[in-house]
Chains A and B, each alone.
Chain A
Amino acid sequence: MTKKRKKPGDTAGRSPKGPPPASRSAPDLLLPLVPRRAGRAVPGASRRDRAFLGRLAKAASDREFREGLRRLRDAVLRSYLAREGRGGRIVAMAGVRGGEGASTFALLLAMALGSSRHYRVAYIDGRLDAGRFEAFTGTFGLSKNSFHVEKDAEGVSGYYNESVPNVYFLRSGPLESLQFFSDKQLQGFLGALRDEFDFTILDVPPLLSESSHVFVLPSVDELYLVAASGKTKLIDIDECIGLAQETGVDISGVVLRQRRVPVWSRRLWRGYFG
């Protein structure tokens, strides 16, 4: 397994579409990297990917969402600082049955962690969706950099935006999720990620919908479950806890995507409704 790293300033392979100017505004959680109308102007993106990018842009511009994301980022940073030994942390974000917004949250968490230039952050889409990655490339202005890890035939390459060079979007060859995570070289791959990055955000497919998590969850350091209030059933949460325990990892926390609360809750039982 070899790895190459581009020096800062190496812009080879940059996407024709450049990223938004870094000087446009202060990169608070790097979320301004997500354009307001993401998904609408991406040529070739599927309808599903455009919808995903639209949700991403909407969440990134939501003040309450950013506040919640900041709390989670701080928790991840605290666990990183309290870790034993050296090496990066592999943080997995998983939904329950899909549709909870786990991918959105994982991507934005990676960007939030990368807001500190001291940390190198990698993001892997657990579904290994090539079409979605192309959409990312077009939306975020990603370009291929020097990071490359040999895995399978083509290995895994890193893409980044020049204005935020410490956040890497990793892309693998044309493999399915199950094939990628069931590979014998997975442990070596993850070890290389630990050596190279402070945080590796792994967007795991929903626990109750796909089974590829059984290969990767034993190697992750933290697992965050993403649930949606009013949608995710408690019995599914219970089942996910059981699955995580079977793979030898404890759920570090649950990101609860809350629905809107009544107006009167601002005055009545404020603490109860959060």
Chain B
Amino acid sequence: MTLTFLKRRLTRILSRPPEIAYAVWRQSWLIILLTLIGAGASYGWLKKRPLVYEGHAQIIVDLWGSAPGDLSVTRAPTGRVDRRQMTSLMEAQAAILMSDTVFDLLLDQLVENGTPLPGLLEAPASGDSDVGKMAWIGDVADRVHERIEGILDLGSARLPPDLDDAELVLQRQKAVGALKSRSRVAQYPSGAVDLFVYGTTYEGIKDQLRFWIIAYRTRLDEMAGENLDSRLDPQETRYSEQRAGAEAALGDFLAKENEKGEVYETWVSEAQLEDINHQIVQRQFERQELRSESRSSPTRYSEVESLKRQRDELELELNAKRLAGFGEQSTAVVDLQRRMGVLEEQIRVRTESEDSDADSVATAAESARSAQLARVRSELAGLLAAKARLMARLEERRELEANLEEAEEKLARFLQMRKEIDEDVETEADMKVKTADKPSVSLEPFGYRPFLTMGIGAGVGLVLATLLALLIEVLRGTTRFQHDLSSDFGLKVYPVRWK
């Protein structure tokens, strides 16, 4: 059978309703058989499957404004809950639902042993079977529910301390497996949480409730930690980076100073500065002496001397400025230097014009004094410049040290604040809870609908059988109707029907 035949046949069958009807009719027994098999198989599967019962409880959590951080829920002006915070709301509700206080009060005290409410409970009426236990629990729950709020005081329930870590991990693993297939939670904006669990026995339902609750609590704890961390971690990182930056800047400065070969320790720098100051005083004293000696000379007191006295006064003022911390480029220093230059020029001109016949001996003595005075003056200027340079470096270093100290202080303050936030989160996890619906276990098996299941199985079998019938008809390469021959081969066909 070639592919061309198959394609042609498939097209013809699928495009003509009579062909489809004929194919179904020809394979009618196969279709009926597969339909019955489908119905029987589905019924067998239903019978083989263990009966599953449903347990249900509803809790309403009141946490308006009382939850820490992101867990707080705000109401919109319309009275509806902000959808963006819905997850936090549900998590917080689950936190209440999963608390051992609530759980023990609502569920554990309903088991057959150790009845919490003497006089309310009676012996199981339906024997020791699981169904009997569940029926008894359902009856008990009806009576307990009427008094449960007053007796158990759920309004002041508080979250219990965490479980042991090892137990928590174990319970979490079990809970995840149970959650995947056997639990369902319906959450409503009104604050109610419907919890459904499914199991074949009452103990199974109870275990699943516990597993679900523990898993949810774990998740809530993680979420609370994640929320805080997500907000606080960037701040801590920023402060840490600031401190590291300040420390690096100071380290770079000291490294550069070290490369210059200069002493950079604070005490050495201070001693160096003191030595420079002492030398400056000495040079000033020497200069004063020389000036006094020059003034006392009778041969050289003339107009030139007057100019020199003015120049010396300016120089004293200039030195005073330098000692006061003025830099060489400052306006006052530059102005004084300019004025001194002018006086020097006048002194030079006057000296050349007058007293050409001055006493050579006195002139020589004066020249010696002047040279000595110039040397002293030069040394003094060098000392002042060195002092100014040293002062600038010390100032820069003190500034870097101050920056580092400030960054460290900020980081320490932040860490303290974070510690306080964490403590607040733990202490503020108090929420109010109240029961909305009693915990109950249905007496009717969940999802046990034989006729519906058989119908679905029969439908699936019918569809599969129909598809199989069409496939068989396509793959069957035999002649069926005169159309097959007349259209495919152009032959004249004489249909004859005989038994």
Interface residues of A (CB under 8 A from B): 58-59, 62, 64-65, 68-69, 71-72, 75, 101, 105, 224-225, 227-235, 237-238, 241, 251-258, 260-262, 264-265, 268-269, 272-274
**Cα distance, A5 to B499, chains bound together (Å):** 39
Does A262 contact B485, Cβ atoms closer than 8 Å? no
Chain A's nearest CB lies how many Å from the CB of B426? 79
Q: Mark B458-499, 1 if CB is under 8 A from A, else 0.
A: 000000000000000000011111111100110111111111
A62-B499, A238-B489 known; A273+B18 contact, CB < 8 A: yes
Answer whether residue B22 sits at the interface, using C-beta atoms and an 8 A cutoff.
yes
Cross-chain contact A235 with B5 (CB below 8 angstroms): yes
Chain B residue contacts of A225, Cβ below 8 A: 491
Knowing A251-B491, A254-B492, A273-B18 touch, does A235 contact B477 (C-beta < 8 A)? yes
Bound CA–CA A62/B479 (angstroms): 22
Min distance, Cβ A251 to any Cβ of chain B, angstroms: 6
A264: B residues at CB distance < 8 A: 21, 25
- Which residues in B have some Cβ–Cβ distance to A below 8 Å? 1-2, 5, 16-18, 21-22, 25, 477-485, 488-489, 491-499
Known: A62-B499, A233-B478, A268-B18. A256 touches B489 (CB 8 A): no
Min CB–CB distance B285 → chain A (angstroms) = 133
Residues of A with C-beta under 8 A to B497? 62, 64-65, 68, 257-258, 260-261
**A254 x B493 contact (CB < 8 A):** yes
Q: In the complex, which residue of chain A has the Cβ closest to the Cβ of B492?
A: A253
Known: A58-B499, A65-B498, A272-B483. 9 other contacts (CB 8 A): A65-B497, A68-B495, A105-B496, A235-B5, A254-B485, A256-B494, A260-B497, A268-B18, A274-B482
**Which residues of chain B are within 8 angstroms of A228 by Cβ–Cβ distance?**
479
Contacts of A237 in B (CB 8 A): 479, 485, 489, 491
Q: Which 4 A-B pairs have the closest CB atoms?
A: A68-B496, A65-B498, A269-B18, A253-B492
Q: Please pick, from A229, A251, A252, A274, the residue contacting B478 in the complex, using a CB distance under 8 A.
A: A229
A68 to B496, CA, bound (A): 5
Q: Which of B16, B21, B495 contacts A258 (CB 8 A)?
A: B495
B20 to chain A, nearest CB (A): 11
Report the separation of the CA atoms of residues A202 and B1 in the bound assembly, to the nearest whole angstrom: 31
Q: Does B498 contact A235, Cβ atoms closer than 8 Å?
A: no
Which residue from A59, A232, A262 sits with its C-beta under 8 Å from B498? A59
- Within 8 Å by CB of A229, from B1, B5, B481, B488, lies B481
Inter-chain CA distance A101–B496, complex, in Å, is 11
Total A-B contacts with CB atoms under 8 angstroms apart: 118
* Contact in complex: B494, A71 (CB < 8 Å): yes
Instruction: Note all chain A residues with C-beta closer than 8 A to B1.
Output: 233, 235
In the bound complex, CA of A261 to CA of B1 (Å)? 25
Task: Give the distance in Å from the alpha carbon of A40 to the alpha carbon of B2 in the complex.
Answer: 44
The distance from the CB of A180 to the nearest CB of chain B, in whole angstroms, is 28
Q: Is the CB of B495 within 8 A of A234?
A: no
The winner among B2, B483, B495, B499 for most chain A CB atoms within 10 A is B495
Measured between beta carbons, the chain A residues less than 8 angstroms from B482 are: 256, 274
A254 to B487, CA, bound (A): 13
User: Which of B479, B480, B484, B492 touches A252 (beta carbons < 8 Å)?
Assistant: B492
Give the Cβ gap from B137 to chain A, nearest Cβ, in Å: 58
- Look across to chain A and name the residue whose beta carbon is closest to the beta carbon of B480: A229
Q: How far is the CB of A140 from chain B (nearest CB, A)?
A: 20
Q: Contact: A227 with B485, CB < 8 Å?
A: yes
Is chain B's binding surface mostly helix, strand, loop or mixed? mixed
- CB contacts (< 8 Å) of A274 on chain B: these are 481-482, 495
Q: Is the CB of A254 within 8 A of B477?
A: no
| Complex alpha-carbon distance, A157 and B22, angstroms | 49
Partner of B491, one of A64, A233, A254, A272: A254
Closest A residue to B482 by CB, please name it.
Answer: A256
- Report which residue of B1, B22, B478, B488 has the largest number of chain A beta carbons within 10 angstroms of its beta carbon: B478
- Is B22 a contact partner of A273 (Cβ separation < 8 A)? yes
Q: Are B485 and A256 in contact (CB-based, < 8 A)? A: yes
Partner among A72, A234, A265, A268 whose Cβ is within 8 Å of the Cβ of B484: A234
Given that A237-B479, A241-B489 are contacting pairs, would A256 and B17 also be in contact in the complex, using a CB cutoff of 8 Å? no
Does B494 contact A68, Cβ atoms closer than 8 Å?
yes
CA gap between A268 and B484 in the complex, in Å: 19
Q: Which residues from chain B contact A69 at a C-beta distance below 8 Å?
A: 496
A232's nearest neighbour on chain B, judged by CB, is B479
Check A257 against B498 for contact (C-beta < 8 Å): yes
Q: Are A230 and B480 in contact (CB under 8 A)?
A: yes
In the complex the two chains form, what is the Cα distance from A182 to B73 in whole Å?
A: 105
Report the separation of the CA atoms of residues A261 and B495 in the bound assembly, to the nearest whole angstrom. 12
B25 closest partner in A (C-beta): A262
Residue of A nearest to B28 (CB): A262
Cβ 8 A contact of B496, one of A72, A232, A273: A72
- Give the complex CA separation of A241 and B496 in angstroms: 20
Q: How far is the CB of A202 from chain B (nearest CB, A)?
A: 18
Q: Cα distance A258–B496 when bound, in Å?
A: 6
Nearest to B8 among chain A residues (CB) is: A234
Q: List 22 contacting pairs A-B, 8 Å CB cutoff, sorted by A.
A: A58-B499, A62-B498, A64-B497, A72-B496, A75-B492, A227-B485, A232-B479, A233-B1, A237-B479, A237-B491, A253-B494, A254-B491, A255-B494, A256-B482, A257-B497, A258-B481, A258-B497, A260-B497, A262-B22, A264-B25, A268-B18, A269-B21
Decide: A234 near B479, CB < 8 A? Known: A262-B25, A269-B17, A269-B18. Answer: yes
Q: Please, which residue of chain B has its CB at the minimum distance from the CB of A225?
A: B491
Q: Is there contact, CB below 8 Å, between B481 and A68?
A: no
Known contacts A228-B479, A238-B489, A269-B17; A256 and B495 CB within 8 A of each other: yes
The residue in chain B whose Cβ has the minimal distance to the Cβ of A69 is: B496
A252: which B residues are within 8 A, CB to CB? 492
A253–B491 Cα distance when bound, in Å, is: 6
CB distance from A174 to the nearest CB of B (A): 33
Q: Indicate the member of B1, B477, B499 with the most A CB atoms within 10 Å.
A: B499
Q: Say whether B489 contacts A257, CB under 8 Å.
A: no
Shortest A100–chain B CB gap in Å is: 10
- Pair A254/B494 contact, Cβ less than 8 Å: yes
A64 near B488 (CB under 8 angstroms)? no
Q: Which residues of A contact B21 (CB under 8 A)?
A: 262, 264, 268-269
Give the complex CA separation of A268 and B481 in angstroms. 15
